[in-house]
Amino acid sequence: MQPTAWHAHERASLVHALTQAGPDAPTLCDGWQTRHLAAHMILREHQPWTQAGANGGPLHDWSDARLQDLAATALAPGGYAALLARIEQAPASWSPWSWAGNLVNLVEYFVHTEDVRRGTWVAGPGGSGGAGERSRDLSPGLQDALWSQLRRGARLFYRRSPVGVVLVVPGGPRLAVKAPPTRPTDDGRLPGTVVVTGEVGELVLHAFGRGRHAGLTLQGDAADRAALDAVVPGPRSGG
């Protein structure tokens, strides 16, 4: 049996969120409005070579110029709708994203959908974005698919954590991601473990640096929570 194409479901969710927000809405991606995020998704799938400097390095300015140029087309009449229509299109058969399916596309589309939804909420009147009240009601199948991807990549996502990390879904699965270091810190303290608890989607957002805007609780020594927060931001309350 073929796995459910949840990435296609989340592609549609992203297009819907972008449509509702319009081209000038804020997102959780620093410096990006919705038109920039739309441009990023198009370049990622249809012109992947333009992403060579997306994460920094000597080609950063070149990659950013490609994104800015495409995002600017959204300001022309019908331009934003044209961008969204391109996002709806599956990538060409030669693109690595055409066969990657849920493995690399599901979390990308889920997180960026929430970047749009929660970015608009945070910027709105009285918005704080810290408690996750605006989280979607995800189907059990989608939650299972997201948890599968989170399990697969958790050690990579939390590789910089200076403390132990355990992820917990209330009433659901639990994942010991990283054991605490056995060597004491410079001040002689032995690091402990932080338990991050939340629904699957909220845990995914935490792993991808959006924890400030996710519904989570963090349990552990205050110093350990602060140490984790420095590399993987969590709720401002600290749990």
Rounded-to-integer distance, Cα 227 and Cα 231, Å: 7
Tell me which H or E stretch contains 178.
strand 174-178
- Return the closest-CA partner of residue 60 out of 69, 50, 70: 50
In this model, does residue 130 exceed pLDDT 60?
no
Q: By the 8 A CB rule, do 72 and 38 touch?
A: no
Residues 6+ apart with CB under 8 A from 22: 34, 80
Confidence of residue 132 (pLDDT cuts 50, 70, 90): very low
> CB burial class (10 A; 0-12, 13-18, 19+) of residue 84?
buried
What's the pLDDT tens digit per position in 89-102? 877 777 777 777 78
Residues 6+ apart with CB under 8 A from 53: 59, 60, 61, 62, 63, 64
In this model, does residue 187 exceed pLDDT 90?
no
**Global pTM?**
0.90
Q: Give me the pLDDT at residue 90, please.
A: 78
Q: How far is CA 18 from CA 36, 179, 234, in A?
A: 11, 39, 25
Confidence of residue 129 (pLDDT cuts 50, 70, 90): very low
Tokens of 50: 């333009």
Compute the average pLDDT of residues 139-168. 97
Tokens of 168: 């917990």
Q: Give me the pLDDT at residue 51, please.
A: 73
In this model, does residue 128 exceed pLDDT 70?
no
DSSP annotation of 26: B
Rounded-to-integer distance, Cα 118 and Cα 205, Å: 11
What's the pLDDT tens digit per position in 29-79? 999 999 999 999 999 888 877 777 677 777 788 888 999 999 999 999 999
Rounded-to-integer distance, Cα 15 and Cα 28, Å: 16
Residues 6+ apart with CB under 8 A from 180: 163, 164, 190, 191, 192, 193, 224
Residue 89 corresponds to which amino acid? Q
